[in-house]
Amino acid sequence: MQIDFSPPDISEDDIQAVSEVLRSGWITSGPRVQEFEAALAEWTKTPRVAVLNSATAALQCVLELLAIGPGDEVITPAYTYTASASVICHVGASPVLVDVAPGQYQMDTESILAAITPRTKAVIAVDIGGVMCDYNALRKTLSSPQAFRRFAPRVGTMQEIFQQIPIIADAAHSFGSSYLGQPSGTVADFTVFSFHAVKNLTTAEGGAITWRNNLVDEATSAEIYQRIKLYCLHGQTKDALAKSADGAWEYDVVAPLYKCNMTDIAAALGLSQLKRYAQMLERRRQLISLYTEQLQTDAAQGGYSLDILSHDDGHGSVSNGHLMMVRLLGRDDAFRRRFIVKMAEKGVSCNVHFKPLPLLSAYAALGFDISSFPEAFKQYENQVSLPLHTLLSDQDVQYVCDSFKAAYAETSAG
């Protein structure tokens, strides 16, 4: 049997939706993009959503909106994917990495507080595996007297609307999740989603930006949306759809910006997927329940310990079930690597989320050393992500669990 890690769930309706766009003669940004943005805003209960061609471009766009650049610092976790930090470098600012809390995948609030300086202009929090950060705890930290005294917003920029350091959610994993009853997208000041091929809802490649309801008034919200559209289309004042109207060819370019718009092809796929997204989320929750019960039973019988990422905290926060993350407690990196090979031999594809940034050459070259982030390394060294996607059957999950139990025993035996 072969169990792939995360293939996209593409239905015949999805294929038909894309085919209709291809036959329409309009394949770049157009009516489907506008429909997708409106549907996403309705789903997330946010005032507006702007879509781009990737979450990475969207994150960089938010930093540009906040006028963050050379001389500035942005805090983000050491335990994340490179996109959370690389965008800080893209705008010329300095990434400031902080460790995670012991036994957690989220940033340690005391470490955040210690990292804040007058140069700190934002915090990029990362939702991992579908589980949203504790944003109340983060806001409490950023509103503390110590943090408040150090926040120096740049005059004449959007930074001035904030009473504390802005929070940007890297919500690449959390579209459809909620925090204390609030949908992802409504909690952080700005939220960025990913619709990459391995995400719960995919547009093949794609991303989106939204912002919380009470951040700005409607006029300013409209201005933010227009600035994003300028950002992702060379700074051009009209997109292709607007220019296609009779006699409407003329346009201006107000700044030498970027090209990262979403196409109607991608948006059509997203719209189609969104129609069944609630059912897809429910299926993920069923699969996680099956996984958790069987893995815990097998661990108890086998005499080993696991830490399984909880997707429901029991207090109103519910994950979208993006990743089935497991830690092999008491085991090290060498054991984990041999275990993953054993799983592959049984036809089960596994992954690791994530290799902390200081272990990557690019960030080591910036001066980051993993010894400064011991908790991130502890989370990483025995973490394994198991296959989790809506093409899995109950029998597939049972096979993965049986393979897990056997692979663990074989790896332990040497």
DSSP secondary structure, 99-167, as one string: PBPTT-SSBPHHHHHHH--TTEEEEEEE-BTTBPP-HHHHHHHHTSHHHHHH--PPTTSGGGG-SS--E
Q: Six-digit token pair at 11?
A: 């239905």
pLDDT number for residue 313: 77
pLDDT number for residue 153: 96
CA distances from 175 to 100, 202, 204, 281 (A): 22, 11, 15, 10
pLDDT number for residue 241: 87
Q: How far apart are CA 338 and CA 56, in angstroms?
A: 32
The answer to whether the CB of 64 falls within 8 A of the CB of 55 is no
Q: How far apart are CA 282 and CA 267, in angstroms?
A: 23
Q: Six-digit token pair at 188?
A: 């952080």
The answer to whether the CB of 295 falls within 8 A of the CB of 401 is yes
pLDDT number for residue 316: 77
Q: Which CATH architecture best describes the domain 12-275?
A: 3-Layer(aba) Sandwich (3.40)
Domain locations in the chain as residue ranges: 12-275, 277-412
Element at 14 (helix H, strand E): helix 12-24
The answer to whether the CB of 305 falls within 8 A of the CB of 299 is yes
pTM metric for this prediction: 0.97
Q: Which DSSP state fits 184?
A: T
Helix ranges (H only) for 255-414 are 264-275, 277-302, 333-345, 361-364, 374-381, 394-412
Class of domain 277-412: alpha beta
Q: Which DSSP state fits 399?
A: H
Tell me the DSSP string of 280-293.
HHHHHHHHHHHHHH
Q: What is the pLDDT along the chain (414 residues), one digit of tens a residue?
A: 999 999 999 999 999 999 999 999 999 999 999 999 999 999 999 999 999 999 999 999 999 999 999 999 999 999 999 999 999 999 999 999 999 999 999 999 999 999 999 999 999 999 999 999 999 999 999 999 999 999 999 999 999 999 899 999 999 999 999 999 999 999 999 999 999 999 999 999 999 999 999 999 999 999 999 999 999 999 999 998 888 899 999 999 999 999 999 999 999 999 999 999 999 999 999 999 999 999 999 999 999 999 999 998 776 789 999 999 999 999 999 999 999 999 999 999 999 999 999 999 999 999 999 999 999 999 999 999 999 999 999 999 999 999 999 999 999 998
